[in-house]
Chain A
Amino acid sequence: MAGAASVLSDDSRLSRLDRGFYRLERFFALLSGIAVFVLMLLAVFSVTGRNIFNQPLPGYVDWIEQIMPLIAFMGVSYTQRDGGHIRMDILVGALKGRALYLAEFITTFAILILMLLLVWGSWAHFERSFDFSSPLWSRDSSMDIALPLWPAKLLAPVAFAVLCVRLVLQLWGYMRAFVQGMDEPVGVPLVLDAATVAAREAEHVSRREDKGAN
């Protein structure tokens, strides 16, 4: 299931950090959303330019390829915070209390290991194309209009590093919930059953639909 979830808060340091960091994540995600919008505008310019003014947009494909990482990576932590990455929750949905927090801790820790290795690996990928002594600091460039590739490559390690911080916060949250045996863990996405997810979705859509129907 889509794994929509909500995150509880209280006045603990963890929760304050969670909410503070969420603002940064939200900003990153908004950049990603704006990039989608720009992608749309680019295509409109490209098509009208080509068909009406007989003047295609130079480097259209190059620009798309540079924008794509912005869309694909910047919101990765925001989505993790809200529990938006899909998973199979048939087992964790049945777990409660400490057993649940333990399972969540293990899988979240596994993600942290992966992401730390990928920050390293994607940084290496960026480093291969970055060079202070080259023009535009760039060792490689796009096919058509020779845009430097390193800025887009840099986005992956940056976004993944932000995700690592989020994962540490979540591990802290699960640990705290486990140690204190909390009923309502703070700072981590709650597991919701299908009915609740559906009800949320329905409510969300209804609100949007009402605005649209005006």
Chain B
Amino acid sequence: MEPIDIGLVVTGGLLVFVVLGMRVAFAAGLAGLVGLIWIFWSKKGYDPDEFGWALTVAAKTAGQVPHSKVSSQALSLIPTFILIGYLAYYAGLTRALFEASKRWIAWVPGGLAVSTVFATAGFAAVSGASVATAAVFARIAIPEMLKIGYDKKFAAGVVAAGGTLASLIPPSAILVIYAIIVEQDVGKLLLAGFIPGVFSALVYAILIIGMALTIKGFGPPVGGFSWRERFECLPAALPIVLVVVTIVFFVYNPFGGDAWGTPTEGGAIGAFIVFLMAVYRGMRWAELKDALLETAKLSVMIFTIIWGVLIYVRFLGFAELPSAFADWITSLTMSPMVILICILLAYAVLGMFMDAIGMLLLTLPVVYPAVMALNGGVYVSAEDSAFGMSGPMCAIWFGILVVKMAEFCLITPPIGLNCFVVAGVRPDLSVQDVFKGVTPFFIADGITIALLVSFPMIVLWLPGLA
């Protein structure tokens, strides 16, 4: 068998094991290791005496991947971002943020729902966990919305959808993971997520205001806060802004001059700010220990997939599968844009059944080179490219699109997890109710993605400055 055939067979086997429910990290690692043994052995003509040699070389090749790939400064952003998320609960930020958001913006039509969107976006940004954000705000925001006459399903939909804004606004662990896997600048990707994240929130807000103006009996605006009341509530919510601003400034200084440091330092300073806030709010060792254990668990989960997939990637390189797939994609007669849209739709389907991180890590090693080839290669200039942007810019743009797609899947039936969580917090709501309530946001996200695809400048303007 040719290496490419071995690549296809092993990849098929990997998919079977993943569907069988094998933990993704280990399925990828095993596929990589088995593939390496197979390729090395095939080079010796499947001589039975040489099997031991092939096994040894493969085990040693795979055995150095975990340590060598994980010892990277860029990857250290992931645990710090996760730590920020777990500490954020103890910092009392959720209620503070909701209160501030309410006092400042609830006077617009559909005001309380709009406030909820911005409060969830803000908290989701630091917590980084869409699902947990939805759970928290289901408890805080839904009762207040119901009190002033919002439709129950719609209120639930707002919270479920708001939680998805997490992954684009810095600090975003999933963008860091993407950057590492495709070997692009982490800082630029973090920066690139900022405007699309805020943009998504704005699209939600416009949608709500539009609904409030056209639908009779929609929740009324909430006004009557004095400026004094408005400013009073700011200090408690300030750490969120500080964290986001710190991370952005450590990547890119908008006032000209050097960035303040590396993204790693920015993330750590952000974590430290939240830590101080949490201690001030009464966090003690027991809670810190809890947060550290949770951080460890989630970090390990992510790192295990990273090294598992990288063993598989090592094998893919030998099998030349990514380049073959890229050749095939570029040989298609369809326009590159149509192919890109098909790829994004495929992610929407896949995302219904799989966790975003697992899905991205498992598919990107093959899909990403193909997308780059579609644009005209890694080193293409903006003029010669299919999508009108240089190679590195295409990498950033595609990353934002894919991550937005993965978040989109958190509110799609049949297993949009955010909707389940909101229904889980509110015994009076069924999952179907939440899915119904989230439908307008579902459409809004579709529009957002279409806009990000049609106008890449929304994504690329900010990283282009840095």
Contact = CB atoms under 8 A, between A and B. Distances in A.
A125 B67 contact: yes
Interface string A93-136: 00000000001101100110111011011111110000000000
Given A37-B292, A201-B132, A91 B21 contact: yes
Contacts of B417: 1, 194, 197-198
Contacts of A104: 21
A202 B293 contact: no
- Chain B binding surface, main DSSP class: helix
Contact of B83 (A40, A47, A91): A40
Contact of A72 (B282, B289, B303): B303
Contacts of A91: 19-21
B17 interface: yes
A91 B353 CA distance: 10
Given A29-B297, A78-B296, A202-B421, A88 B21 contact: yes
B72 A65 contact: yes
A212 B123 CA distance: 14
A143 to B, nearest CB: 11
A211 B298 CA distance: 21
Contacts of A64: 73, 76, 264
- Chain A binding surface, main DSSP class: helix
A205 B136 contact: yes
Interface residues of B, number: 93
B125 interface: no
Given A40-B268, A206-B135, A87 B21 contact: yes
A199 interface: yes
A37 B289 CA distance: 10
A193 to B, nearest CB: 9
B264 A43 contact: yes
Contacts of B139: 206, 209
Contacts of A89: 21
Interface in A18-55: 26, 29-30, 32-34, 36-37, 39-44, 46-47, 50-51
A214 B92 CA distance: 8
B63 A107 contact: no
Contacts of A46: 265
Interface string B396-431: 000000000000000000010100110111000001
Contacts, number: 289
B315 interface: no
Contact size range, A? 35 or more
Contacts of A214: 92, 281-282
Contacts of A117: 33, 55, 58-59, 62-63
Contacts of B363: none
Contact of B64 (A37, A61, A106, A125): A125
A150 B290 CA distance: 30
Contacts of B297: 29, 75, 78-79, 82, 84
A9 interface: no
B76 A85 contact: no
B184 interface: no
Contact of A85 (B25, B80, B295): B25
B18 to A, nearest CB: 6
Interface in B15-47: 17-27, 29-30, 33
A36 B21 contact: no
Given A71-B303, A75-B299, A118 B17 contact: no
Contacts of B303: 71-73
B135 A201 contact: yes
Given A2-B301, A71-B300, A85-B305, 5 more contacts: A30-B289, A73-B303, A76-B304, A121-B62, A205-B89
13 contacts: A36-B292, A40-B83, A67-B76, A88-B21, A103-B21, A107-B17, A111-B22, A194-B417, A205-B135, A206-B136, A212-B94, A212-B283, A214-B92
Closest 3 CB pairs of A and B: A121-B63, A33-B292, A43-B268
